[in-house]
Every structure is written in C-alpha cells, then in structure tokens.
C-alpha cells in the first residue's frame, strides 16, 4: 500500500509536480491527470471514481472555496464548466456540486483548495433529494457563487440550468464530510466507498477517465 501522507495542500503539491502528492504517490507512471486547462483553471479526474468520468475543476492559484474567487475568475470558471458539461454528457447526466468551506470552519473534506465536482450521473436526480435543506436557488453557477461571496461554509448542487445552495449556518443539520458523495452513493445504490481516502490503490476507472476525456476533448475542440 502506498504511503499517503497528507501535505499542506494536496492540490497545490500536485499542480507543482511534488512527488509526495497523493496522486503522484499512487500513480507514479502517469505523470499528470490534468485533462483540460483554461485560463487559470484545470480539470482532472476525481480520486475515488464513484461515477466513472467524474472530474474536479479547480483554480491553479490557492483559494479556499469557489465563492471566494474574484468575480472575473468566477466568470472564467463558469465558462470552463460550460465547455466540460458538453463533453461530460457523453458519459452520463452531468451534475456539479461543491462543499465550500474556509479552513477555520473545519468543514468540507479537509482539503481547503477550491474544487468543484463535475459528475456524470446515470440519470437526473431531483435537487430536493440531493440537498433538501437548501435555502436559495439560481439559474446558473455564477449567480449562486456571487450570492455566496461572503459565505465561509456552504453547500451547492446543480445542473446546467438549476442550482440550489445554502449557507451551513442556515441549515437545520450540520453536513458531514463529503456530504454529496455520501448522498449520491446511498441514493443510487453505488457499491463503492464514498470516502475518497479509502481509495489507496490505482483505479482502472481513473486511468480510463483520463483516456476518455483526452479523446473526447480532442474531438470536441
């Protein structure tokens, strides 16, 4: 089993090519899992492929949540997401989510580098099922992130034309770590661990995702 020591920032280490990053320890022969890059953002396959084809979209600079990005970067993120949504439709029904938190809140999954999940679901799930305790809705990701600009801890789930979100302080129940991965795994009856840290050996689905998105992105360009 690989020695998976937690670095100061998992994603910063990986983007800088540090050998101690979890991905580089687990996949020393791959080199990089980045499948797309666009004006300060990268997309890469998720460790713990609950749904094959799942991606993370993150800024190359260290910001703790997507809501804390400057407005111009929010717009660039939304444009990048739009491009990736088109490609992801080949693998399933695309949905995106974020458990955004500042490090001092102790929330999220313990990695405080903004990362938006993009997952191809087998079918569309009602947003009220995934986030029943939401407090607001928006027509797109940009509107939601603008509204959450001053939030230090929030949950956000959406599709291309529907986004629901809530600040954790307004929720009835405090969300557990990896909230959305838990909910989606349970609701869809997926027999894979929801906790990405349980994936300690190379995943064939991750390698297949790198290859599939590479081919799809090339044909999409």
pLDDT of residue 12 exceeding 70: yes
**Regarding predicted confidence, which is higher, 108 or 84?**
84
d(CA 10, CA 20): 9
d(CA 194, CA 38): 29
Q: In the chain, what is the greatest distance between 2 CA atoms, to the nearest angstrom? A: 46
Architecture of domain 26-220: 2-Layer Sandwich (3.30)
Asked if residue 212 lies in contact with residue 53, where contact means CB atoms within 8 angstroms, the answer is yes
**How high is the pLDDT of residue 130?**
96
pLDDT of residue 14 exceeding 50: yes
Across the range 6-35, mean pLDDT stands at: 87
Determine what percent of the chain is predicted with pLDDT higher than 70.
Answer: 93
Q: What is the pLDDT of residues 112-130, one digit of tens each?
A: 999 999 999 999 999 999 9
What are the extents of the domains in the chain? 26-220
Q: What is the pLDDT of residues 37-66, one digit of tens each?
A: 999 999 999 999 999 999 999 999 999 999
Confidence bin at 145 (pLDDT 50/70/90): very high
Most confident of 7-16, 186-195, 207-216: 186-195
Angle formed by the axes of helices 204-220 and 71-88, to 10°?
100
- State residue 43 phi and psi, 5-degree precision: -120, 135
Neighbours of 38 (CB within 10 A): 15
pLDDT of residue 173 exceeding 80: yes
Neighbours of 74 (CB within 10 A): 20
Across the range 162-180, mean pLDDT stands at: 94
Strands (E), the chain: 36-38, 41-45, 55-59, 93-101, 116-121, 136-138, 153-159, 162-167
């Amino acid at each position: 089993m690989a020695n998976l020591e937690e670095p100061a920032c998992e994603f910063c280490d990986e983007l800088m090519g540090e050998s101690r990053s979890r991905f580089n320890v687990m996949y020393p022969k791959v080199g990089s899992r980045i499948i797309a890059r666009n004006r300060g953002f990268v997309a890469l396959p998720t460790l713990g492929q609950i749904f094959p084809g799942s991606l993370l979209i993150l800024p190359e600079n260290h910001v703790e949540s997507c809501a804390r990005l400057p407005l111009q970067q929010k717009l660039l993120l939304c444009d990048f997401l739009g491009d990736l949504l088109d490609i992801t439709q080949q693998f399933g029904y695309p949905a995106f989510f974020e458990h955004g938190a500042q490090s001092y809140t102790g929330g999220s999954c313990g990695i405080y580098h903004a990362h938006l999940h993009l997952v191809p679901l087998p079918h569309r799930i009602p947003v009220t099922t995934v986030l029943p305790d939401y407090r607001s809705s928006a027509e797109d990701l940009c509107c939601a992130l603008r509204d959450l600009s001053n939030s230090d801890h929030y949950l956000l789930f959406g599709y291309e034309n529907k986004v629901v979100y809530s600040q954790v302080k307004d929720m009835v129940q405090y969300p557990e770590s990896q909230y959305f991965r838990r909910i989606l795994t349970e609701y869809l009856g997926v027999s894979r661990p929801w906790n990405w840290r349980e994936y300690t050996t190379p995943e064939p689905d991750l390698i297949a995702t790198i290859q599939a998105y590479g081919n799809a992105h090339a044909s999409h360009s």
